[in-house]
């Protein structure tokens, strides 16, 4: 009676038809000996922790909004700290607090949400700008020091990310740990871009327009190298990502600074408002059209398999058939 019940459960869960399937000879009482082998196997990790990709696909909209966001990061930081007289230190504290709130909702989301993601980018652009400006203006760290320091911080972040995940691709940001590495990298790129841009335009006195042309040219070289297959996609993306920060900053300074400083004289208020409105329109379009959303199933099996290998799993005792 008990044996019949056990085999009923096995049939329901494993499709077992008879004791012989598990190596028990005909006529031998089921479970009368240890003819049914027990093996300890690793169960597949619970994939509920894995989210859909948390960052957008790299489209023309991505780069447009990224440049606009970096421009806002430059002009909004100047607007809050100088025009509204909050000072760089207090502006940095306030914007860092707002960034923490935005990142809380970004990390909490299970998939890429254009509004939350791009709000986080704009805020981290402002914080990265203020991080560089506070070091230079308030702590007296020269640009010749801050620029290599932020470059080293970016390199350390990349090394730690790759050592842990074996990839720097933004197409597989589907775990919290990878997302953490991603946002640390983004912050480092904004801080480095700010210091690097200021170093060329101010320390070397190349001016905003010339700096704009230099960084635009650098992005053009990276793009050409990528399409000529001289540079892989991951390296090309992150180099261009770093260069768009001083490009956007130079554009923001060129538009907002007065004529005698080499700018167009639009001021930080109108420049910030114009770029923020443009970002809002584009992000609204992306939220409706979903043209930059990673489709289900497009994440490569190799990346998923590697992610599973990184996860610790508990061994589970399972019944394994001896033969058919």
Could you report the per-residue pLDDT of 85-140, keeping only the tens digit for each?
Answer: 888 888 889 999 999 999 999 999 988 999 999 999 999 999 998 999 899 888 89
Give the whole-angstrom CA distance, residue 74 versus residue 204: 19
Predicted local distance difference test score (pLDDT) of residue 38: 39
Q: Phi first, then psi: give them for residue 39, nearest 5 degrees.
A: -125, 145
Residue labelled with tokens 């992306």: 286
Q: Is residue 61 within 8 Å of 291, Cβ to Cβ?
A: yes
Q: How far apart are CA 298 and CA 146, in angstroms?
A: 40
pLDDT at 3 over 80: no
Same structural domain, 160 and 181: yes
* Predicted confidence (pLDDT) at residue 36 exceeds the cutoff of 50: no
Q: What per-residue confidence (pLDDT) applies to 97?
A: 95
Q: 48-97: per-residue pLDDT in tens?
A: 345 568 999 999 999 999 999 988 887 888 888 888 888 888 888 999 99
Task: State the average pLDDT over residues 169-174.
Answer: 88
Same domain, yes or no, for 206 and 80? yes
Domain range for 36: 2-47
Q: Does 136 or 2 have the greater pLDDT score? A: 136
Residues 83 and 132 in one domain: yes
Of the listed ranges 110-119, 160-169, 266-275, the one predicted with least confidence: 266-275
Q: Which residue has the higher pLDDT, 221 or 208?
A: 221
Any domain includes 317: no
148 shares a domain with 20: no
Give the mean pLDDT of 255-262. Answer: 79
The per-residue pLDDT for 51 is 57
Same domain, 8 and 85: no
Place of tokens 């056990």: 6
Q: How confident is the model at residue 295 (pLDDT cuts 50, 70, 90)?
A: low
Q: What is the pLDDT of residue 269?
A: 86
User: Considering its fold, how many domains does the chain have in total?
Assistant: 2
Residues 201, 237: one domain? yes
Q: Dihedral sign for Cα 229, 232, 235, 238, please.
A: positive
Please give the DSSP secondary-structure letter assigned to residue 57.
Answer: -
Q: Mark whether 262 and 128 lie in a shared domain.
A: yes
The answer on 113 and 22 residing in a single domain is no
Q: Which residue has the higher pLDDT, 276 or 253?
A: 276
Whole-Å CA distances, 153 to 93, 132, 227: 21, 13, 29
Whether 322 is covered by a domain: the verdict is no
Considering the domain architecture, whether residues 96 and 162 belong to the same structural domain is answered as yes
pLDDT, tens digit (0-9, with 9 covering 90-100), for 230-253 = 899 999 999 999 999 888 888 887
- The pLDDT of residue 190 is 92
Q: Are residues 218 and 245 in the same domain?
A: yes
- Other CB atoms within 10 A of residue 38 CB: 9
- Determine, yes or no, domain membership for 188: yes
Confidence grade of residue 260 (pLDDT, cut at 50, 70, 90) = confident
Dihedral sign of CA atoms 183, 185, 187, 193 in order:
negative
Do the Cβ atoms of 68 and 242 come closer than 8 Å? Answer: no
Q: What is the mean pLDDT of residues 144-166?
A: 95
Is the pLDDT at 13 greater than 70? The verdict is no
245: in domain = yes
Co-location of 108 and 85 in the same domain: yes
Average pLDDT, the chain: 78
Buried b (16+ CB within 10 A) or exposed e, 291-306: ebbbeeeebeeebeee
Report pLDDT for 116: 96
Task: Classify 16 as helix, strand or coil.
Answer: coil
* Model pLDDT, residue 87: 85
**pLDDT score recorded for residue 47:** 37
| 183 domain-assigned | yes
Q: Where are the alpha helices (DSSP H) in the chain?
A: 2-14, 60-78, 88-108, 114-133, 143-165, 176-198, 208-227, 233-256, 267-289, 301-310
Residue 315 domain-assigned?
A: no
Q: What is the pLDDT of residue 317?
A: 36
Same domain flag for 22 and 147? no
Give a yes or no: residue 134 inside a domain.
yes
Per-residue pLDDT, 207 = 80
Measured distance CA(120)–CA(110) in Å, rounded: 16
Contact 289, 99 (CB under 8 A): no
Instruction: Choose among 172, 194, 195: nearest CA to 182.
Output: 172
61 inside domain: yes
């Amino acid at each position: 009676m008990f044996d019949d019940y056990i085999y009923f459960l096995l049939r329901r869960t494993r499709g077992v038809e008879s004791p012989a399937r598990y190596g028990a000879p005909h006529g031998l009482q089921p479970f009368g000996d240890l003819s049914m082998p027990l093996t300890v196997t690793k169960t597949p990790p619970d994939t509920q922790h894995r989210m859909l990709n948390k960052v957008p696909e790299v489209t023309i909209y991505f780069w447009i909004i990224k440049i606009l966001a970096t421009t806002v990061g430059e002009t909004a930081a100047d607007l809050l700290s100088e025009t509204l007289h909050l000072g760089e230190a207090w502006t940095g504290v306030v914007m860092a607090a707002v960034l923490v709130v935005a990142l809380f909702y970004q990390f909490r989301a299970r998939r890429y949400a254009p509004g939350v993601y791009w709000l986080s980018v704009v805020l981290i652009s402002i914080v990265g700008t203020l991080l560089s400006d506070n070091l230079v203006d308030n702590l007296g760290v020269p640009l010749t020091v801050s620029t290599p320091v932020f470059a080293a911080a970016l390199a350390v972040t990349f090394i730690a990310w790759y050592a842990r995940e074996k990839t720097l691709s933004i197409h597989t940001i589907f775990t919290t740990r990878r997302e953490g590495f991603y946002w640390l990298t983004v912050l480092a790129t904004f801080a480095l871009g700010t210091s690097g841009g200021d170093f060329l335009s101010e320390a070397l006195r190349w001016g905003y327009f010339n700096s704009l042309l230099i960084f635009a040219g650098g992005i053009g070289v990276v793009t050409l190298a990528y399409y000529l297959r001289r540079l892989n996609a991951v390296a090309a993306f992150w180099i261009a990502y770093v260069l768009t920060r001083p490009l956007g900053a130079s554009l923001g300074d060129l538009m907002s600074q007065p004529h005698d400083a080499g700018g167009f004289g639009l001021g930080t208020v109108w420049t910030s408002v114009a770029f923020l409105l443009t970002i809002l329109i584009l992000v609204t379009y992306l939220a409706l059209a979903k043209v930059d959303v990673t489709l289900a199933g497009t994440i490569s099996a190799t990346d998923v398999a590697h992610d599973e290998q990184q996860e610790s799993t508990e061994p589970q005792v399972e019944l394994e058939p001896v033969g058919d």
